[in-house]
Amino acid sequence: MNSKYEFPKGETNVVYVKPVALADLPDDVQEQVGEEAQLYAVHKDDGEQLALVDGRELAFSLARQNDLVPVTVH
């Protein structure tokens, strides 16, 4: 998410934040992340992943900085 995403009219700006298990990531991503990291993914309502970040607070902050409304998914 290096730039703001322009949602077409009628689409919501709600995004979903969920924890991601390190084991569920591709090997090349796992190599870049420390074993202690707790990663969170930010997704659009259609499931498209917008970001993968280290920490829930960062995920929420990043969403808000891009005029998105973050909601936690369990």
pLDDT in tens, 24-43: 888 888 888 877 778 999 99
pTM of the model: 0.77
Domain count, the chain: 1
Joined together, the tokens standing for residue 64 give 């808000």
- The stretches in the chain having pLDDT less than 50 are 1
CA distance 42 to 38: 13
Host domain of residue 21 = 14-72
Given this model, what pLDDT does residue 4 score? Answer: 66
Domain assignment of residue 9, yes or no:
no
Check residue 37 and give its pLDDT: 75
Side chain identity at 23, as an amino acid letter? A
Could you give the dihedral angle defined by the CA atoms of residues 24, 28, 31 and 36, in that order, rounded to the nearest 10 degrees?
Answer: -30
Question: What are phi and psi for residue 21, nearest 5 degrees?
Answer: -75, 135
Q: Is residue 26 part of a domain?
A: yes
Q: What's residue 52's pLDDT?
A: 92
Is 22 part of any domain? yes
Q: How far apart are CA 60 and CA 43, in angstroms?
A: 12
8 part of a folded domain: no
pLDDT at residue number 9: 55
